[in-house]
Structure 1
Amino acid sequence: MVEDMKGKIRVFCRIRPMSKVELSRGSSPVVDCLDDYSVTVDTPRGLKEFQFDKVLGMISSQEDVFQDVSRLIQSAVDGFNVCIFAYGQTGSGKTFTMVGDKDLRNPGIMPRAFRTIFDIMQENTSKFDFKVWTYMLELYNERLLDLFVCPTDALSKKIEIKKDKKGLVFAHGAETKEAASAEELFALFEQGCANRHIAATKMNLESSRSHLIVGITVESTNLTNGSVNYGKLSLVDLAGSERAAKTGARDDQLKEANSINKSLSALGDVIFALSTEQAHVPYRNNKLTQLMQDSLGGNAKTLMFVNISASSCSMEETLTSLMYATRVKAITNNAQKNSESKEIAQLREVGGSDELTLTILSLFLGPGPLRAWP
Structure 2
Amino acid sequence: QEETEKRKILHNTLEDMKGRIRVYVRIRPLSETELKADYANVMTKEDERTCVMASDPVSGSEIKDWEFDKIFNGSEADGNTQEAVFKDTSLLIISAIDGFNVCIFAYGQTGSGKTYTMFGSNDRSERHQGLAPRVAHELFNKLQERESSHHIEVSVTMLELYTDKLGDLLTSKEEGYASDLKIRLAEHTSSGLVEVEGAKMERATNANELLDIFNRGAKGRASSSTKMNADSSRSHMIATVVLSLRNRRTGKVIHGKLTLTDLAGSERVAKSGAAGHQLKEAQSINKSLSALGDVIGALTSGGRQHIPYRNHPLTMLMSDSIGGNAKTLMFVCCSPADYNRKETANSLDFAKRCRNVTNNVS
Output the TM-score relative to the length of structure 1. Answer: 0.86
Match for residue 103 of structure 1?
123
Q: 1:7 to 1:224 in 2, by over 3 A?
A: farther
Q: Name the % identity.
A: 48
Matched, 1:10 2:36: no
Q: Deviations over 1:216-255 (max 9, x none)?
A: 0111122232211111001000001122332222222211
1:70-89 equivalent positions in 2, closer than 5 A: 70-89=90-109
Residues 323, 360 of structure 2: 8 Å contact kept:
yes
Displacement, 1:155?
A: 4.7
Displacement, 1:215?
A: 0.5
Alpha-carbon distance between aligned partners in 2 of 1:325 and 1:184, rounded to the nearest angstrom: 34
Matched, 1:318 2:344: yes
Q: Deviations over 1:169-193 (max 9, x none)?
A: 1212111011111111111111111
Q: Deviations over 1:257-293 (max 9, x none)?
A: 1111110011111111211226122211111011111
Q: Deviations over 1:34-81 (max 9, x none)?
A: 111110011332211101011111120000000000010111112111
1:121-200 equivalent positions in 2, closer than 5 A: 121-165=143-187, 168-200=193-225
Structure 1 unaligned residues grouped into runs of 5+: 337-374
Amino acid at match of 1:298: G
| Number of corresponding residues | 336
Q: 1:88 to 1:335 in 2, by over 3 A?
A: same
Amino acid at match of 1:55: I
Q: 1:2 to 1:194 in 2, by over 3 A?
A: closer
Alpha-carbon distance between aligned partners in 2 of 1:259 and 1:154, rounded to the nearest angstrom: 22
1:53-72 equivalent positions in 2, closer than 5 A: 53-59=69-75, 60-72=80-92
Between 199-208 and 84-93, the greater mean CA deviation after superposition: 199-208
Displacement, 1:7?
A: 5.7
Displacement, 1:200?
A: 1.5
Q: 1:317 to 1:156 in 2, by over 3 A?
A: closer
Match for residue 94 of structure 1?
114
Q: 1:204 to 1:128 in 2, by over 3 A?
A: same
Amino acid at match of 2:321: S
Match for residue 4 of structure 2?
none
Residues 185, 319 of structure 2: 8 Å contact kept:
no
Displacement, 1:17?
A: 0.7
Match for residue 247 of structure 2?
222
Displacement, 1:312?
A: 0.5
Alpha-carbon distance between aligned partners in 2 of 1:79 and 1:331, rounded to the nearest angstrom: 21
Residues 103, 260 of structure 2: 8 Å contact kept:
yes
Tell me the secondary structure at the aligned position of residue 196 of structure 2.
strand
Q: 1:42 to 1:214 in 2, by over 3 A?
A: same
Structure 2 unaligned residues grouped into runs of 5+: 1-12
Q: Deviations over 1:65-113 (max 9, x none)?
A: 0000001011111211100000001110000000000122211111111
Between 135-144 and 253-262, the greater mean CA deviation after superposition: 253-262
Displacement, 1:30?
A: 0.5
| Selected match of 1:23 from 29, 35, 53 | 35
Alpha-carbon distance between aligned partners in 1 of 2:178 and 2:297, rounded to the nearest angstrom: 35
User: CA RMSD, aligned part only?
Assistant: 1.6
Match for residue 260 of structure 2?
235
Output the TM-score relative to the length of structure 2. Answer: 0.89
Alpha-carbon distance between aligned partners in 2 of 1:8 and 1:186, rounded to the nearest angstrom: 28
Q: Deviations over 1:183-212 (max 9, x none)?
A: 111111111112110112121121001000
1:241-256 equivalent positions in 2, closer than 5 A: 241-256=266-281
Match for residue 282 of structure 1?
308
Alpha-carbon distance between aligned partners in 2 of 1:99 and 1:189, rounded to the nearest angstrom: 9
Alpha-carbon distance between aligned partners in 1 of 2:176 and 2:279, rounded to the nearest angstrom: 22
Match for residue 9 of structure 2?
none
Alpha-carbon distance between aligned partners in 2 of 1:304 and 1:221, rounded to the nearest angstrom: 30
Tell me the secondary structure at the aligned position of residue 183 of structure 2.
strand
